[in-house]
Amino acid sequence: MTETTQEQLRRACEQGDYALLLAAIPYAQLIGVECTRQGDDWVFRLPANKDNIGNPLLPAIHGGVIAGFMELAAAVHLLIATATPGVPKIIDFSLDYLRTGQFRDTYAKCQVWRQGRRVANVAITAWQDVEAEPIATARAHFKIQEPSKPERP
């Protein structure tokens, strides 16, 4: 029997090991995303990997990998932060590339700006060496599942 997303999330939060949750996401495994908790924040890490290079002359991380990493970080952050009953579905994603993503580890932090009953907005910032010098910023809107309501007697 396979574990549900909610069960994986619960177990990951109880153990403080978000690798359990990321292990269930094939794209996270493909690009190598990791997640750690630092105080009240979750920090996502994209380790330097030759398979993620888009421009071998610089070398620089492929823009699509950066975008995918940031979108994935936002969805996982939202899943952890709100404990929604299902995986959030992306509505739209807007990304601003600010600097070249050099061939080194890349980090991301997310913040839920507004959460309604069905839609949540998440801001994502990605950086490499210095958090105050982001390589990209993004905004994502997700459709989230409402928690199931108890049945009336």
Each residue of 64-100: pLDDT tens digit? 999 999 999 999 998 888 877 777 899 999 999 999 9
For residues 29 and 32, give the distance between their C-alpha atoms in angstroms, rounded to a whole number.
5
Instruction: Report the percentage of the chain scoring pLDDT > 90.
Output: 61
Domains of the chain: 5-143 (3.10.129.10)
Q: Residue 94's CB: how many other CB atoms inside 10 A?
A: 9
For residues 9 and 81, give the distance between their C-alpha atoms in angstroms, rounded to a whole number.
10
User: What pLDDT does residue 3 have?
Assistant: 62
* pLDDT tens digits, one per residue of 8-29: 777 777 777 778 788 888 899 9
**Does residue 149 have a pLDDT over 60?**
no
**Does residue 1 have a pLDDT over 50?**
no
Closest CA to 31 of 75, 61, 74: 61
